[in-house]
Amino acid sequence: MSVSINTKDEIIMRLVHYFVTVENYQPIIVNGVQNEIWLENLKAPYRIIRINSNYIHNKDQFEFDAFKIHNIIKQIKRKTFSFKLKTLNILLDVSSDVEIEADKNVDTYGIDSIKDVRKDEGLAGLYPQLKTFTLNKGDNLDLIVNITNDINNKTEEENQSYEKVFKPKKIIFTWALIAICIIIFLLFPRGSEVWRLLALNPDEVRAGEYWRLITSAFLHADIIHLMVNMYALSILGKQVETFLGRSKFLLIYLISALTGSLMSVSITNSLSVGASGAIFGLLGCLAYFGYHYRLYLGDALRSHILPVIFINLIIGFTIPLIDNAAHIGGLIGGAFLAMAVGIGRKDEKNSRIHGVIISLIYISVLIYLLFI
């Protein structure tokens, strides 16, 4: 059986194959467009690549096409919380009478043949591997099969890495932390000698009782305080423990409790207890995680995570008895720690090193503020 492939379709297949398998781009679903392929790699110099096979035969069509690109890019910016998206626009069917004009943040190239792809002044100037990148073509059917298999293998590899992050896991540490808080609440009620020994008392912390910076996160003022915090921990803890793993979750929780307590002692001068600093650390971690997986999670960051953080901070500022300093301290600490420990396939070694450095600086500043 023979299959006929025109030049335009062959160029599309070869370009998509190259960008997906070599440059690690992923397809974007864009509603309302036809004969266009959109790819994204938010870590690449060109974060967005658009391949358009529609015929553009005059200046007006070219200007309308540019207008359409900018509108779609605006939508992607809102979805990905990006301020700037450098875009490569590849046009496969442009009349010779149309002059391709320069456009801010959108570089446009007209392509008529495979030879055009490999020219130094064309795409090969941007991606040198395109000069030598090829397939054992055989006949047209072999070309389609080879390209399809390569893209499917790459997609399967990506899907497996995502599945490793998002698949349900057995939750242990979240339930253990909840159990510890409940047991401590029952054994050492508010006002008892042990409760006073473990609570976050700024004067005692400055006097050398540093254990209070952590132990206070396991105490609660009353049953309502306990129930609210444990409900939040049961939801957020399960998510972070699933996405990052048990050891990373526990580290983020405890260090966020520490940074929340340090911020509280540095800013306020009142007794404080509760797990909310550590819980806000989990929110900070989820915000960092959601930002890096924003294309996979859809609108979860914008519609769920950030509104929860914002609303709870507003509540903290309006109700006097709430220790919002601990919330803010834990929130920032959780985000920095998520960067430091890593969040799966979406982070890099340099990011983790930066996260460790920033976390250490942040904790050092809080300790400095504690004693001045």
Q: For residue 81, give the 3-state DSSP assignment.
A: coil
What string of DSSP letters covers 72-108?
Answer: HHHHHHHHHT-S---EEEEESSB-TT-----BTTEEE
Backbone angles phi, psi at 260, to 5 degrees: -65, -45
Contacts of 320 (CB under 8 A, 6+ apart): none
Report the alpha-carbon distance of residue 246 to residue 313 in Å, rounded: 27
* Residues with a known catalytic role: 276, 327
**Whether the Cβ atoms of residue 234 and residue 316 lie closer than 8 Å to each other:** no
Report the C-alpha gap between 109 and 67 in whole angstroms.
16
- How many whole angstroms separate alpha carbon 342 and alpha carbon 250? 14
For 230, the token pair is: 């444990």
The encoded tokens of residue 128 equal: 């040198």
Instruction: Give yes or no for a contact between 184 and 214, defined as CB atoms under 8 angstroms apart.
Output: no
Cβ atoms within 10 A of the Cβ of 78, count?
A: 11
Written as one string, the DSSP assignment of 29-48 is --TT-SSEEEEE-TTSSSSE
